Amino acid sequence: MQLFDVYPLFDVTIERGKGAKVWDSNGTEYLDLYGGHAVISIGHSHPHYIEKITEQVSKLGFYSNSVKNPLQQQLAEKLGSVSGYEDYQLFLINSGAEANENALKLASFYNGRTRVLSVEKAFHGRTSLAVEATNNPKIIAPINANNHVTFLPLNDLPAWEREISKGDVCACIIECIQGVGGIRLADKDFMYGLQKLCAAHNTVLICDEIQCGYGRSGKFFAHQHLGVTPDLITVAKGIGNGFPMGGVLISPKFTPVYGQLGTTFGGNHLACAAALAVLDVMKEENLVKNAATVGNHLMESLKSANLPHVVDIRGLGLMIGIELDIPYKEVRSKLLFEEHCFTGCSGTNVLRLLPPLCLTIEQADQFVEKMTRILKPGI
C-alpha cells in the first residue's frame, strides 16, 4: 500500500527535538520557528511532559466516555483557572476541525438557525461545516458546499451589521488573529461592536483560538487583547503539545443534554495527561509572558534590521507574519536548506512564524541573523 499523496513534502526527515530545536536523520540541527503548524507549545520533548505521558500510559491509555475520568475534570478546572473562564464548561474532542464542528452544532441547537458568518481568508478546518466556513474553494467538495456560510471582510463592522440584523444568523466565527489568512488581526472596535450585535440578535459568537490561542499571542487567548467574551471558544494545537486533542469552552448559557454531543476518543486518559502537563509547564515557566516578551523583541528586531523585500511585520506574541514584496518560496527554502530554520507561510508572500512558546531571546536573534544573511545579498 502507498500513502495517499496529498502533502508536498520537504526532503527532510525529523527524528528528534528539544525545546525550539529539531534534528534530522543526518544529525543536522534546525531552529524551529514553526512548531509543526503551531502545535508545539511548551517545546519538543519537555521532561515533565514525557514523564506525565509515560506515567499515564503505563497505567491506562484509553477507556471510553461511558465511565468517569477524573483527569477530564482536573483539566477543566485547571484550564478554567489559567484562562479566566472558570464558569464555562468544557467539551473535549481530538482536533481543531472537530472543535469548530461541535461549536457550530451547539450554536445551531441553541437558536435553531443554520446561517453562519465567517471572515474572508478564514481557515476553520477541513471537515463538513468547518471547511464550508473556510474561505478556500479548492478544499470545499461539492458535498460540503451547502450555502450555510457568508464571508465578510475582517474589521468591516457595517458589513457584519447588515447581515446580522436580518435575524437569521446562527453564529459568527472569528479568528482574532488569522493564521492561514496571513496574520491579520481583528481590532477592538470591530470585536466590541460584533459582540454587541450578536447579543442583540441572539447570534452566537465563536472565537476560533485553535492557532492563535493557548498563550501564543502573549495572553492566554487572543480575544483577551480585545476585551470581548465569546459564547464559545475553540482550542486545539497547543493544548496537547503534539498529542491530538481539541476542546470547546462553552458559556453557561448553554445547557448540556445527554447525547447532544459525543466522541469516542475525545478526552481520553492519555490526552488529558498530555494537556495537564502542558498547563503545568506553561505556569511553571511563565510561557505566556515569555511569548509576549520574546515575540515583541523579535518583531522589533526584524523591523530594526530594515531588511530588503520586507514590507510589513505584524502579529502578537509568537504569532508573527513577515510580508514580502516577492514570493516567499525561495526565501523559505533558503532558510530551511541553507540556514537550517523551519518557518511557515501564508498566501504567496507571507512567512508565518509560530515557534514553541519557550523560544528564547537568543534564538529570536539567531533568526534575525539568518533572515539577514538570506535577504541582504539580494534574492
Domain limits of the chain? 14-45+286-375, 47-284
User: How many whole angstroms separate alpha carbon 138 and alpha carbon 44?
Assistant: 33
CB 271 within 8 A of CB 92: yes
Q: Has residue 379 got a pLDDT over 90? A: no
Mean pLDDT of 269-287: 98
Q: Has residue 216 got a pLDDT over 70? A: yes
Mean pLDDT of the chain: 97
Q: Has residue 241 got a pLDDT over 70? A: yes
Place of cell 470547546: 248
- Could you report the per-residue pLDDT of 3-44, keeping only the tens digit for each? 999 999 999 999 999 999 999 999 999 999 999 999 999 999
Strands 184-185 and 177-178: antiparallel
- pLDDT number for residue 376: 83
- Answer whether 0.95 is exceeded by the pTM: yes
Determine the distance from the C-alpha atom of residue 21 to the mean position of all C-alpha atoms in its chain, rounded to a whole number: 20
- CB atoms under 10 Å from CB of 4, counted, come to 6
Mapping DSSP to helix (H, G, I), strand (E, B) and coil, where does residue 353 land? strand
Strands 21-24 and 29-32: antiparallel
List the one residue out of 114, 119, 110 whose CA is nearest residue 212: 119
- Could you report the per-residue pLDDT of 300-346, keeping only the tens digit for each? 999 999 999 999 999 999 999 999 999 999 999 999 999 999 999 99
Mean pLDDT of 208-237: 98
CB 242 within 8 A of CB 39: yes
Fold of 47-284: Aspartate Aminotransferase; domain 2 (3.40.640)
And the C-alpha cell for 308?
A: 530588503
Q: Considering the chain, what percentage of its residues have pLDDT values greater than 70?
A: 99
Task: At 6, give phi and psi (nearest 5°).
Answer: -115, -5
- Could you report the per-residue pLDDT of 167-183, keeping only the tens digit for each? 999 999 999 999 999 99
CB 342 within 8 A of CB 34: yes
User: How many whole angstroms separate alpha carbon 374 and alpha carbon 331?
Assistant: 7
Q: Has residue 377 got a pLDDT over 90? A: no
Q: Has residue 378 got a pLDDT over 80? A: no
And the C-alpha cell for 28?
A: 543536522
For the 14-45+286-375 domain, the top CATH level (class) is alpha beta
And the C-alpha cell for 19?
A: 525545546
- CB atoms under 10 Å from CB of 138, counted, come to 4
CB-based contacts of 267: which residues, under 8 Å, 6+ apart? 65, 69, 72, 75, 92, 93
User: How many whole angstroms separate alpha carbon 46 and alpha carbon 62?
Assistant: 22
Strands 204-208 and 232-235: parallel
Q: Considering the chain, what percentage of its residues have pLDDT values greater than 90?
A: 99
CB 204 within 8 A of CB 198: yes
Mean pLDDT of 159-168: 98
Determine the distance from the C-alpha atom of residue 302 to the mean position of all C-alpha atoms in its chain, rounded to a whole number: 23
For 9-23, the DSSP string reads --S--EEEEEBTEEE
